[in-house]
Amino acid sequence: MKVPCDLRDLQGVLRHDFYFGYATAATQVEGGWDADGKGASIWDTFAHTPGKVKDGSTPNDAVLSYYKVKEDAALLKSYGVTAYRFSLSWSRIIPLGGKGDPVNEAGLRYYEELVDELLKNGITPFVTLFHWDTPQALEDRYGGLLNKEAYTPDFVNYARVCFERLGDRVKHWITYNEPGVYTLAGYAAGVHAPARSSNRKLNEEGDSSTEPFIVGHTELVSHAYAVKLYREEFQAKQKGTIGITLHGNYSEPWDINDPLDVEAAERAREFEIAWYGDPVYKTGDYPASMRTQLGDRLPRFTPEESKLVLGSSDFYGMNSYTTFYVRHLNTPPHIDDHSGNIEKLDTNSEGVSRGPESDTYWLRTAPWGFRKLLNWIWKRYGVPIYITENGTTAKGETEPSEAVLNDTFRIDFFEGYLEAIGRAVEEDRIDIRSYFAWTFTDNWEWAAGYTDRFGVTYVDFESQEKKRYPKRSATVLKELFQHMIKQK
């Protein structure tokens, strides 16, 4: 492969122990939704409810990763990865979820087999404990994450089971994946499980003005207690790292010469990212801009919780895809606003687009904003950054034809974002330690079902075996990282 001009001078800029690989989530890839004693998650319930998923599909089979451990590990190895990020299904390990409920040996054995197969292929596992799939039994029992007191000991117990069984081989743990997306999509918009919001046309129950912040608080506190457990009982012996992965796209002022838009963009970043980032990495509390707008609807940390949450992540786990232009609003914030009273736009005041369109309405290629966001996170928090998700869909991926498998749109996306990372390391001196592309194979993309294809591997969803076809982007990423990672 001929290295693109923009990346030629970035040879060897990434540290020799930089991790490159792909990220996935249990619900989206495993299938075997009720196999070998697995319990139901809130996503099983959601998908089995008519009208909730765009194409009416379910993750019952997903892409059958549960049955393809060896095959998928071999494919990952052929893609040249050094790491693979996946999540554990809580209800596969503890079907009813609670600390007093039985552990499912078959579920644990599956994850042990997966970890062992990855290690055998020279691939380092990065393991996420919670990627949105709360056990349905806990939702039924006490309202899931709306009940911090009941939920936290159950989550910590689940974490303990995972550390005990897998921690001798797993050295990279992530407690929560994108806690903010879980709360906003599930409890504010109500378009994800557990499908709660103030919109009675869509959801029977919920309060978009309070529940997202209650759930976010539970996530932060239970995360901190799980980290406390790992650090006190496991870290010294197992010698691993543990942290959290936060979502966040970059917000750029719509008019860079308007102080109100500059303020609005910063406020948008705080509502989206610092909501979780500040308590964990900066102050042990929520940003002042959130408290000003939300008042007592934003929960308050006890002194003990604040102390526990601050410093509770060994790294900054970063999921980011795109950039938006942000304009201030002159009207008072709506009771159900979760963004800092701003408007998001696709073009700025001068008519400049944020980037080329993908096949997903919100996602546009914008590496220029990605580098700005890396700088914003580094300047605000100053901890090593692990990029744990980044990727794109592409229009017209409807069959594994030569044109579709030569996925130039995705290749352009990756080249742009990898250049941004290289420059951020080389010129901005930011400590970046991993890049996990989203995602390994096309999969079941939550409420979009099988309509959004993010994979570097095309999957024939109609075939019984969910046949895989590598796209060219998989080869390009492999070669770009061979160029950019310093040789030992």
Residue 60, SS3 per DSSP: coil
Assess whether pLDDT exceeds 90 at residue 488: no
**Could you say which of 30, 389, 397, 445 is catalytic?**
389
Closest CA to 92 of 46, 137, 35: 35
Q: What are phi and psi of 242, to 5 degrees?
A: -145, 145
pLDDT above 70 coverage of the chain, percent: 100
Closest CA to 249 of 174, 189, 325: 325
Angstrom distance (rounded) from CA 273 to CA 380: 11
State the burial class of residue 50 (Cβ atoms within 10 Å of its Cβ: 0-12, 13-18, 19+). Answer: exposed
Residue 225, SS3 per DSSP: helix
CB 471 within 8 A of CB 457: yes
- pLDDT at residue 2 in the model: 85
Residue 242, SS3 per DSSP: strand
Which parts of 161-285 are beta strand (E)? 172-177, 241-247, 250-253
DSSP 8-state secondary structure symbol assigned to residue 102:
P
Tally Cβ neighbours within 10 Å of residue 332.
9
Angstrom distance (rounded) from CA 407 to CA 394: 8
Tell me what the mean pLDDT of segment 392-396 comes to: 98
- pLDDT at residue 281 in the model: 98
Contacts of 68 (CB under 8 A, 6+ apart): none
Closest CA to 294 of 275, 266, 269: 275
Angstrom distance (rounded) from CA 348 to CA 29: 37
Angstrom distance (rounded) from CA 239 to CA 170: 9
List residues bridging with 246 in a β-sheet.
Answer: 318
Assess whether pLDDT exceeds 80 at residue 138: yes
List residues bridging with 347 in a β-sheet.
Answer: 353
- pLDDT at residue 348 in the model: 98
CB 408 within 8 A of CB 473: no
Q: What are phi and psi of 252, to 5 degrees?
A: -110, 135
Tally Cβ neighbours within 10 Å of residue 218.
23
Tell me what the mean pLDDT of segment 260-273 comes to: 98
pLDDT digits (tens, 9 = 90+) for 47-80: 999 999 999 999 999 999 999 999 999 999 999 9
pLDDT digits (tens, 9 = 90+) for 416-443: 999 999 999 999 999 999 999 999 999 9
Assess whether pLDDT exceeds 90 at residue 347: yes
pLDDT above 90 coverage of the chain, percent: 99
Closest CA to 447 of 185, 136, 213, 233: 185
Tell me what the mean pLDDT of segment 335-341 comes to: 98
**Could you say which of 139, 178, 270, 419 is catalytic?**
178
Q: How confident is the model at residue 104 (pLDDT cuts 50, 70, 90)?
A: very high
Angstrom distance (rounded) from CA 439 to CA 454: 6
Structure tokens at 399: 């069959």
- Percent of the chain as helix, strand, coil, to the nearest 5: 45, 15, 40
Closest CA to 103 of 116, 112, 90: 90
Assess whether pLDDT exceeds 80 at residue 1: no
Whether 178 sits among the annotated catalytic residues: the reply is yes
Tally Cβ neighbours within 10 Å of residue 385.
22
Whether 232 sits among the annotated catalytic residues: the reply is no
Residue 246, SS3 per DSSP: strand
Angstrom distance (rounded) from CA 429 to CA 375: 9
